[in-house]
């Protein structure tokens, strides 16, 4: 999936992408993970960093291993770095 929101942090974007794949609202994810909707929103926007326990609860609620969410976040971060390098190269020419 292309990076649609550069303001969203990689982990938050990975959560959002999986949540949307599962056709879940933030409210439904929050209920399933035992969190508030505001906390889910903050995590997706990186206003707060989730604890490991919270990240695991989110992954469980999304029916995905935490490791896969973290891997997706790493891919997003790598894609952004490559895009930034490409933009810098094209700006020099």
pTM value?
0.79
H or E, element range at 54: helix 52-61
Q: What is the pLDDT of residues 45-73, one digit of tens each?
A: 988 889 999 999 999 999 999 999 999 99
The CA–CA distances, whole Å, from 40 to 51, 83, 90, 92, 93 equal: 12, 27, 37, 40, 42
Place of tokens 């810098």: 88
Predicted local confidence at residue 28, as pLDDT: 98
In this predicted structure, the answer to whether residue 85 has a pLDDT above a threshold of 90 is no
Contact (CB, 8 A) for 17 and 8? no
Average of per-residue pLDDT values in the chain: 89
Select the more confidently predicted residue: 82 or 62: 62
Q: Is 93 exposed, middle or buried (0-12, 13-18, 19+ CB in 10 A)?
A: exposed
In the chain, the domains with their CATH numbers are 10-92 (1.10.260.40)
């Amino acid at each position: 999936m292309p990076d649609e929101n550069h303001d969203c942090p990689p982990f938050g974007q990975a959560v959002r992408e999986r949540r949307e794949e599962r056709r879940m609202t933030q409210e439904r994810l929050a209920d399933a993970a035992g969190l508030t909707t505001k906390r889910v929103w903050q995590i997706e926007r990186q206003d707060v960093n989730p604890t490991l326990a919270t990240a695991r609860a989110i992954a469980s609620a999304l029916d995905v291993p935490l490791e896969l969410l973290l891997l997706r976040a790493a891919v997003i971060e790598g894609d952004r770095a490559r895009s930034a390098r490409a933009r810098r190269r094209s700006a020099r020419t």
